[in-house]
Amino acid sequence: MGRWPGPQHLTGMAAPMAVWALHLLAVYSLQGLACAEDWQRTRVAGLEAVTWWLLALTVAALAAIAWLGARARRAWRLETTAAADDVPARRRRFTAAATTILAVIAAVAVTYTAVPILLLTTCD
């Protein structure tokens, strides 16, 4: 019962999009705090310190989404050997495939959210 829900469950299926939503929330919250508290003035290796934090959050989110997508793909491949009349196996295969697709969509969304981090200064 203490295991992480697999891609065959609705919670597991929604997990990639939840990671994207948490990333979006964290990026916008941290960026707003940085502007309000003047954190953007600190520079590290040529970039603002906040930019490094945002990039670290982005890498962590992409790693989590990749892990969830890999688990879903593995579960989908395991279900390909199920019989055609095995309805529960077909349902698990569908949800695993949907989770894989959602992981790809979530990775694109995180990347799209992260592009302004590299192109703009924090408080423009």
Which amino acid appears at position 21 of this protein? A
How far is the first Cα of the chain from the last one, in angstroms, to the nearest whole number?
47
Residue 4 falls within a domain, yes or no?
no
Residue 32 falls within a domain, yes or no?
yes
Residue 27 falls within a domain, yes or no?
yes
Between 47 and 96, whose confidence is greater? 96
Residue 109 falls within a domain, yes or no?
yes
Residue 3 falls within a domain, yes or no?
no
Residue 38 has pLDDT above 70, yes or no: yes
Q: How many CA atoms lie within 13 A of 85 on its CB side?
A: 0
Phi and psi for 64 in degrees, rounded to 5?
-65, -45
How much of the chain exceeds pLDDT 70, in percent?
A: 81
Report the pLDDT value the prediction gives residue 17, as an integer from 0 to 100: 93
Q: Residue 88 belongs to what domain range?
A: 10-119
Domain count for the chain, please give it: 1
Residue 1 falls within a domain, yes or no?
no
Residue 39 falls within a domain, yes or no?
yes
Question: Cα separations (Å) of 21 from 29, 54, 58, 104, 106?
Answer: 12, 14, 12, 14, 9
pLDDT in tens, 83-96: 666 777 777 788 88
